[in-house]
């Protein structure tokens, strides 16, 4: 459980920072799509950067646990599976984007960056999971 929490935190930080960098470079508010809570009634009163990032990390930890389950029981685990898992998680864009950044509607560039970042997230998640749970290379 601790390993998966660390893996979730590390990959969550990587994805978050990548989307912040992409938002800075392109001007497309991908970080807002990832982190904004203003449209969630209960959480909107706590819509601070700290709460946004903590919720993102919680989701990343849960996603790491789900991937570990898939890694062990469902699909053959490899980098392609990791990338596909990342792409699967990126589908949340179609729910979050209209709520958090409606100005991106109909634009292809932010969608492509979002999907590419999540595919890389999935590859990183796979690599860390494989490394961490291999017999000889446990970092925790």
**Mean pLDDT for the stretch of residues 38-45:** 85
Q: Given phi > 0 = left and psi -120 to 50 = alpha, else beta, which region is 78?
A: beta
Contacts of 23 (CB under 8 A, 6+ apart): 29, 30, 31, 32
Choose the weakest-confidence range: 18-32, 37-51, 90-104, 114-128: 37-51
Model confidence at 46, pLDDT cuts 50, 70, 90, reads confident
- Cα distance between residue 51 and residue 94, in whole Å: 22
Q: Does 71 have pLDDT greater than 90?
A: no
Whole-prediction pTM value?
0.88
Q: Does 137 have pLDDT greater than 60?
A: no
- Cα distance between residue 42 and residue 23, in whole Å: 27
pLDDT at 133: 79
Choose the weakest-confidence range: 6-15, 16-25, 26-35, 124-133: 124-133
Q: Are 97 and 42 in contact (CB under 8 A)?
A: no
- Cα distance between residue 73 and residue 76, in whole Å: 8
The DSSP annotation for 39-72 comes to TSTTGGGG--HHHHHHHHHHHHHHHHHHHHHHHH
pLDDT at 136: 57
Domains of the chain: which residue ranges?
2-133
């Amino acid at each position: 459980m601790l390993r998966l929490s660390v893996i979730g935190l590390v990959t969550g930080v990587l994805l978050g920072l990548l989307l912040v960098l992409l938002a800075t470079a392109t001007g497309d508010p991908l970080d807002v799509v990832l982190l904004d809570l203003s449209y969630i009634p209960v959480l909107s009163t706590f819509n601070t950067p700290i709460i946004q990032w903590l919720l993102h990390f919680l989701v990343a930890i849960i996603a790491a646990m789900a991937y570990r389950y898939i890694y062990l029981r469902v699909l053959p685990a490899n980098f392609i599976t990791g990338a596909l898992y990342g792409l699967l998680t990126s589908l949340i864009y179609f729910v979050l984007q209209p709520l958090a950044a409606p100005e991106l509607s109909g634009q292809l560039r932010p969608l492509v960056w979002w999907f590419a970042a999540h595919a890389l997230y999935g590859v990183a998640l796979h690599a860390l999971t494989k490394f961490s749970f291999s017999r000889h290379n446990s970092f925790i």
